[in-house]
A and B are shown apart, each in its own frame.
Chain A
Amino acid sequence: MLGVKSGIIKFIYIFITWGYLPTLGNDVARHYGIYLLLFDKEMIMAIGFVLAILASIEKTFEDTKPAISGVSGILRNVIVLWYFFKFLEMITLIQLPALNINISVSYNLIKDLITASILLTIFRHVVQVAFSKQLVKKPKT
């Protein structure tokens, strides 16, 4: 029961941070004449929803079924990695026509560090799946 409650909280948290807040950023950018996003609003919300579902499964079954939680975590982080590269592609060339400014950015070490962080998280979930039997928490009597 505690796992389900944590799962619901995680769903709400991930949906707000990955599904709702980025669309607000999009609106603010457009207000200033900046068109950054490769995706439309519905697509951002859909990705946020999928990530939230996977995160809630991951959290709900973390202690009772670590294999399911691990697979969900791997899927979620693969989507996060893909989304991160899409985001980088999007902010590589920034145009501010109202200010007559064009900026092209090349992300070097920071890109490698963030990628390493996501890959490490995937590795953690692989370990979770591999040792799932030993990681099941026994209920306290």
Chain B
Amino acid sequence: MSARTIFNIIRTVVILFGIGVSALSTIMTYDAVSLNIGLKDVAGSVVFTVGLTTVDVKATINLEHRGILFSFLNMNVIVYIYSDAIGNNSPVAWDREIFTISPGEQKTLTFNFVISRAIFNSTTEWSIVIKVEGIMSLMNMNFVSFTLNYTEII
């Protein structure tokens, strides 16, 4: 086998590997932007049910994965509620959901909180902070992991 043939084989392998990696990263980028998390909705969907001594708070998030290949594995969504009466150092209440979402799937997450009536009465401004931690995976291999923080004041 001549040097030219061996070199051509190496070149072909390198080119094919490069094309494969480029295709994977392109699909990954597409999948990343195809995860539609209704973060705006959660602030709008917060429902306060006032009781005698406590206030029940319910919030929902809708998720839709319109991607084609990568799954979002062990997604950990934590919703914190802060009150201006208490300050932004410690949340008044928090709840979390852990789930996995594959391409083409839709999910609705419901978060339930209980806040004392006294805090509810003295609060003029609520801050909702949503933290999303997740892994983009293909065949259980961790390609990218990320943490997202979203803050909304209502």
A residues with a Cβ closer than 8 A to B are 99-110, 113-114, 116-117, 120-121, 123-124, 127-128, 131, 134-135
Contacts and interface: CB of A to CB of B under 8 A. Distances in A.
Contact of B144 (A100, A108, A117, A128): A108
Contact of A100 (B11, B25, B150): B150
A113 B25 CA distance: 9
B144 A107 contact: yes
A100 B152 contact: yes
Contacts of B11: 124
A80 B147 CA distance: 28
Contacts of B145: 105-106, 108
B24 A134 contact: no
Contact of A110 (B4, B7, B144): B144
Interface of B: 2-4, 6-7, 10-11, 13-14, 17-18, 21, 24-25, 28, 39, 141-152
A110 B146 contact: no
Contact of A135 (B7, B18, B146, B150): B7
Contacts of A100: 150-152
Contact of B25 (A104, A105, A114): A114
Nearest to A104: B147
B18 A110 contact: no
A131 B144 contact: no
Chain A binding surface SS class: helix
Given A123-B10, A127-B6, A135-B4, 13 more contacts: A101-B39, A105-B144, A106-B146, A107-B144, A108-B142, A108-B143, A108-B145, A110-B24, A117-B14, A117-B18, A120-B18, A121-B14, A135-B7
Given A108-B143, A113-B24, A114-B25, A127 B10 contact: yes
Contact of B143 (A110, A123, A128): A110
A100 B148 CA distance: 10
Contact of A101 (B24, B142, B149): B149
A121 B7 contact: no
A104 B134 CA distance: 11
A114 B147 CA distance: 22
Contact of B10 (A101, A109, A124, A134): A124
Contacts of A135: 3-4, 7
Contact of B17 (A99, A102, A117): A117
A7 B69 CA distance: 37
A101 B147 CA distance: 10
